[in-house]
């Protein structure tokens, strides 16, 4: 069995990513799989692993990664609502993780973390603003702000994270011009 871990800060982000940092993928032998879904020594590659993580973990509907939910992916509107709610929760948890990483970066990675968020901070804040105005989490169309795409609870929970990230991003020199709290 191969192993992969991620820095979770004790936060559950995805059915494939445990609070303790354990990554669950058939390619790693931490879940069942067939054929090329399993790690094959001398044949499988790190690229294959990264593509699997991108496709299976970093997708738009991680709620349906739960094995019991796969058959219901598109059948019931109620499950789509649960999926959206899950995405909203994960987005808030992601913002929490960003804050923790900024304040306590992994050893020897402080400059890298700050550089990353200097370059991506503006986009993160603009996405937060769009979500607070009703755009759907994860949408490619952040201009759709009808107030019905994200829940009121999510929008109200998002505001304190936005305020904190705005301060933190300004402190590291990210371009926050024109983005008001």
Listed as ranges, residues in the chain with pLDDT below 50 are none
The predicted pLDDT at position 64 comes to: 77
Q: Which of 24, 96, 128, 176 is catalytic?
A: 24
The predicted pLDDT at position 144 comes to: 65
Q: Give the C-alpha separation, 8 to 174, whole Å.
A: 24
The predicted pLDDT at position 2 comes to: 63
Q: Are 151 and 145 a contacting pair, CB within 8 Å?
A: no
- 102, two tokens: 């900024």
The predicted pLDDT at position 115 comes to: 97
User: What residue ranges do the domains of the chain occupy?
Assistant: 1-59, 73-171
What is the tens place of the pLDDT at every residue in 72-124? 666 666 677 888 888 899 999 999 999 999 999 989 999 999 999 999 999 99
Q: Give the C-alpha separation, 130 to 34, whole Å.
A: 41
128 is catalytic: no
Q: How far is CA 133 from CA 107, 151, 153, in A?
A: 37, 10, 12
The predicted pLDDT at position 52 comes to: 82
């Amino acid at each position: 069995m191969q192993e992969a871990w991620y820095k979770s800060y004790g936060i559950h982000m995805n059915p494939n990513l445990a609070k303790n940092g354990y990554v669950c993928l058939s390619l790693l032998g931490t879940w069942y799989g067939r054929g090329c879904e399993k790690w094959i020594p001398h044949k499988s590659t790190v690229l294959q692993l990264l593509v699997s993580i991108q496709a299976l973990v970093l997708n738009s509907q991680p709620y349906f990664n739960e094995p019991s939910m796969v058959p219901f992916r598109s059948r019931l509107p109620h499950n789509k609502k649960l999926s959206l709610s899950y995405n909203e929760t994960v987005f808030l948890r992601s913002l929490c993780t960003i804050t923790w990483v900024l304040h306590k970066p992994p050893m020897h990675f402080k400059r890298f973390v700050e550089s990353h968020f200097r370059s991506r901070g503006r986009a993160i804040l603009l996405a937060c603003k769009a979500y607070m105005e009703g755009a759907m989490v994860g949408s490619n169309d952040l201009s759709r702000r009808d107030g019905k795409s994200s829940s009121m609870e999510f929008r109200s929970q998002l505001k304190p994270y936005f305020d904190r990230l705005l301060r933190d991003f300004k402190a590291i020199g990210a371009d926050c011009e024109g983005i008001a709290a």
